[in-house]
Amino acid sequence: MTAPRLPIRVVAAVIAEGGRYLITQRRPTAVLPLLWEFPGGRVEQGESDAAALKREVRHRLGVDIDVGQLISFVSHPYEHYVVDLHLYDCRVVAGQLRAANVNDFRWATSDEFDRLPFTPADEASMNKLLGLG
């Protein structure tokens, strides 16, 4: 009998500007190394989604954001856990973007997404969000 996979609540920011979306590349030492994703991270116990998203984006990219409406949700099973990924409409309100705790970041159009390797949860969420795939 296998143990149940533990759910991990993750939040991510969909930040759009001029028809492009802000995406980040995971570090080489991270789980799922060098894959692309929408910026965000894990929600800590007792933390709201908005607080987690602000904390994670500031930590990873050095900017402050406003968190808007929930725009998409997907649950994606990995081998040992399940990621419950909640995507929020966000915008940068202060600071200068920098790769503080990510390998890289870039602005990409939805047409470029299929040419970049995304994490499975982000790919599923992106496809749902943009009506791709």
pLDDT tens digits along 41-51:
999 999 999 99
Is 100 within a domain?
Answer: yes
Is 55 within a domain?
Answer: yes
- What pLDDT score was predicted for residue 124? 80
- What pLDDT score was predicted for residue 122? 84
- What pLDDT score was predicted for residue 99? 97
- What pLDDT score was predicted for residue 133? 45
Question: Whole-angstrom Cα distance, residue 113 to residue 101?
Answer: 22
Q: Is the pLDDT of residue 31 over 50?
A: yes
Is 16 within a domain?
Answer: yes
Number of domains in the chain: 1
- What is the arithmetic mean of pLDDT over 68-81? 90
Is 1 within a domain?
Answer: no
Residue 120 has which token pair?
């499975």
Could you tell me the pLDDT band of residue 62, with boundaries at 50, 70 and 90? Answer: very high
CATH of the domain at 63: 3.90.79.10
Q: Which residue has the higher pLDDT, 133 or 51?
A: 51
C-alpha separations of 92 from 4, 15, 49, 97 in Å: 38, 8, 17, 9
Sequence length of the chain is 133
The alpha carbon torsion through 15, 18, 20, 22 (nearest 10 deg) reads: -30
Q: What percent of the chain has pLDDT over 70?
A: 93
Q: What is the 3-state secondary structure (H, E, C) of the chain?
A: CCCCCEEEEEEEEEEEECCEEEEEECCCCCCCCCCEECCEEECCCCCCHHHHHHHHHHHHHCCEEEEEEEEEEEEEECCCEEEEEEEEEEEEEECCCCCCCCCEEEEECHHHHHHCCECHHHHHHHHHHHCCC
The pTM is what?
0.90
Vertex 78 angle, CA 20 and 100, to 5°: 45
Could you tell me the pLDDT band of residue 79, with boundaries at 50, 70 and 90? Answer: confident
- What is the arithmetic mean of pLDDT over 28-34? 93
Residue 53 lies in domain: 6-130
